[in-house]
Amino acid sequence: MDNKEELKKIILEKVRNEIQLDVQSSNDSVTVTSSKIGGKPSVPEGFVWPTYHADYLEKDEPLAFLAQFNLEELAPYDKDGLFPKKGMLSFFYCLLEDDLLWGTDPRDKGSARVFYFEDATCLKPIDFPEGAYEGGKITEKAVMFKAHDSYPTFDFLYDLCGGFDSDLYHECLTELGYINDCLYNDKLLGYAEYVQHSEEAICEKMYLGFDATNPPGQVITDEDKKAFVEGSVNWVQLFQLDPENESFDEMMCIDGFIHFFIRKEDLKNFNFDDIQYIVECG
């Protein structure tokens, strides 16, 4: 594509809302039902702390609790109305002392979970399970929110539009008045900030049953690649966090982003059981 006006139109059509997270320096304002980073999760009675099982691990590993978001607090900032209007959304990921799980290996299934609790008023904090990795106990901090326009990234649009020059893309953004005034890398919804590749296409690749680590012998045709790109629009980024941000503890040791994704249809039905996640490092 080399038509600037056409590309500008496509960019504007695909602008989404994102909710930026302003992580506070303390937990002074945190209550049981508050949105927050780290600390102990608030869960319903009978909740079983999620664990990750893999044959190469000596034991099932308790997942680290990353964050919880009270959806009533989020509602004024959810301009596209994608989230449920009430309840709590909680994110977990398996942090290991001597390894890093990327989310792209079929064996990683179950190493990240998202839980939706419809009634936040009945939730209570739960203690960390015995044997939980100390590095996975993230310091509790309050969060505040800001709604912001999220423009489609160059990587997201490139294959969808049949390719175009990066200079043309940036010229379009400038003429559209786009200003990169994002102060926070941690956010809900919006377009993923990529370190390397279009993560939505990778999610579709895994959804269609392919191994995203590209093992020897795996055959991927041009039609398959086309399906990955076309299916990328079926995915929504739920949560992006930047563990290198000072908001998180240095012991997380991830130089990049953790992205949680969900299919649009699952989000519409408030089904958070089949999320995909991808860890990117620079």
pLDDT at residue 17, as a whole number? 94
Look over the chain and give the mean of its residue pLDDT values, rounded to a whole number: 89
Show me where the domains of the chain are located.
4-281
C-alpha to C-alpha distance for 103 and 179, rounded to whole angstroms: 32
What's the whole-number mean pLDDT along residues 230-239?
A: 94
Neighbours of 258 (CB within 10 A): 22
pLDDT at residue 181, as a whole number? 64
**Angle value at C-alpha 259, between 151 and 223, nearest 5 degrees:** 75
Higher-pLDDT residue of 243, 208: 208
Under the banding of pLDDT at 50, 70 and 90, the label for residue 62 is very high
pLDDT at residue 259, as a whole number? 94
* Fold for the domain defined by 4-281: Hypothetical protein YwqG fold (2.30.320)
pLDDT beyond 60 at 157: yes
pLDDT beyond 90 at 54: no
Under the banding of pLDDT at 50, 70 and 90, the label for residue 84 is very high
* Orientation angle between helical segments 4-13 and 166-175, nearest 10 degrees: 70
C-alpha to C-alpha distance for 18 and 186, rounded to whole angstroms: 10
Rounded percentage of the chain residues whose pLDDT exceeds 90: 60
Please name the amino acid found at residue 83: F
Comparing CA positions, the residue from 113, 110, 276, 259 lying closest to residue 197 is 259
- R_g of the chain computed on alpha carbons: 19
pLDDT beyond 60 at 272: yes
Query: pTM value?
Result: 0.91
pLDDT beyond 60 at 250: no
**What string of H, E and C letters represents the secondary structure of the chain?**
CCCHHHHHHHHHHCCEEEEEEEECCCCCCCCCCCCEECCCCEECCCCCCCEECCCCCCCCEECEEEEEEEHHHHHHHCCCCCCCCCCEEEEEECCCCCCCCCCCCHHHCCCEEEEEECCHHHCEECCCCCCCCHHHCCCCEEEEEEEEEECCCHHHHHHHCCCCCHHHHHHHHHHCCCCCCCCCCCEEECCCCCCCCCHHHHHHHHHCCCCCCCCCCCCCCHHHHHHHHHHHHHEEEEEEECCCCCCCCHHHCCCEEEEEEEEHHHHHCCCCCCCEEEEEEC
pLDDT at residue 137, as a whole number? 87
Under the banding of pLDDT at 50, 70 and 90, the label for residue 194 is confident
Under the banding of pLDDT at 50, 70 and 90, the label for residue 72 is very high
pLDDT beyond 60 at 21: yes
- Encode pLDDT of 92-135 as tens digits: 999 887 778 889 999 999 999 999 999 999 999 999 998 888 87
